[in-house]
């Protein structure tokens, strides 16, 4: 793949969409430290930092494609060459919008995203815990994950609250037919998910 991409110095920005993209794609950087790197969120930025690279751009507020596209460094990219390092079957918004803004966009898919295979025994065990009232919250950190969970029709999802990172995922799940109560976190970061759970439990307990 490195041969197909050519000299990375010819790209104005190299954008990593996830920590997994860093895990499987950081080797493409070949220890070059003077490249302009962008990360889709804090977890991706941390992964690049841990690999020894400095991140020049990341979202300021919403840790998603929309948030990164609002970064001043990506507002005027006409004539620029941008490399997006990503997994398969992800959102195309970054690629589409950067092209619309006049950039030449190249995508390098460095890992494959596939739904998990869940055994019938595990599904039965989870269903029994729902029936016993032992499970109260389902966490879906992306719309893709939420859609995959909804396909598991044997689970009693409407008995639980759903914890999601933001309005986009919440709206998408509603469009897919989910009627269960939704808890919205500020992002998919662990501390934001935990904070949303704490707020909910405090409101339920009256604390």
Domains of the chain are 2-111 (3.40.50.10090), 120-199 (3.40.50.10090)
C-alpha distances in angstroms, 185 versus 10, 57, 140, 189, 206? 38, 23, 11, 9, 20
pLDDT tops 80 at residue 76: yes
Our CA dihedral for 101, 105, 108, 109, rounded to 10 degrees, sits at 40
**What is the mean pLDDT of the segment spanning 164-175?**
90
Do the Cβ atoms of 83 and 106 come closer than 8 Å? yes
Report the C-alpha gap between 97 and 79 in whole angstroms: 14
In this prediction, residue 196 carries a pLDDT of 92
In this prediction, residue 118 carries a pLDDT of 82
pLDDT tops 70 at residue 114: yes
pLDDT tops 80 at residue 88: yes
Which one is predicted more confidently, 11 or 186? Answer: 11
Q: Express as a percent the part of the chain with pLDDT over 90.
A: 53
In this prediction, residue 2 carries a pLDDT of 66
Which residues 6+ apart lie within 8 Å of 140 measured at CB? 146, 149, 162, 163, 164, 169, 173
In this prediction, residue 156 carries a pLDDT of 66
pTM summary value: 0.76
In this prediction, residue 157 carries a pLDDT of 73
Neighbours of 11 (CB within 10 A): 20
In this prediction, residue 96 carries a pLDDT of 95
Structure tokens at 143: 């719309």
Do the Cβ atoms of 143 and 172 come closer than 8 Å? yes
Report the C-alpha gap between 170 and 165 in whole angstroms: 8
């Amino acid at each position: 793949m490195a041969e197909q991409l050519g000299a990375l110095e010819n790209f104005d920005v190299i954008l990593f969409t996830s920590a997994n993209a860093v895990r499987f794609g950081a080797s493409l950087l070949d220890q070059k430290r003077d490249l302009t790197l962008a990360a889709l969120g804090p977890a991706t930025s941390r992964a690049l930092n841990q690999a020894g690279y400095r991140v020049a751009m990341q979202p300021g507020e919403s840790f998603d494609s929309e948030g990164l596209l609002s970064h001043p460094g990506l507002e005027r990219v006409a004539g620029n060459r941008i490399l997006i390092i990503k997994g398969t079957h992800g959102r195309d918004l970054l690629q589409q919008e950067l092209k619309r803004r006049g950039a030449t966009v190249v995508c390098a898919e460095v890992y494959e995203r596939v739904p998990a295979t869940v055994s019938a025994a595990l599904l039965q065990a989870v269903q029994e815990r729902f029936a016993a009232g032992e499970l109260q919250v389902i966490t879906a950190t992306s719309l893709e994950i939420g859609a995959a969970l909804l396909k598991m029709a044997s689970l009693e999802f409407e008995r639980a609250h759903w914890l999601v990172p933001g309005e986009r995922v919440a709206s998408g799940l509603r469009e897919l037919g989910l009627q269960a109560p939704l808890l919205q976190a500020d992002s998919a970061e662990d501390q934001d998910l935990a904070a949303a759970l704490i707020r909910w439990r405090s409101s339920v307990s009256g604390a």
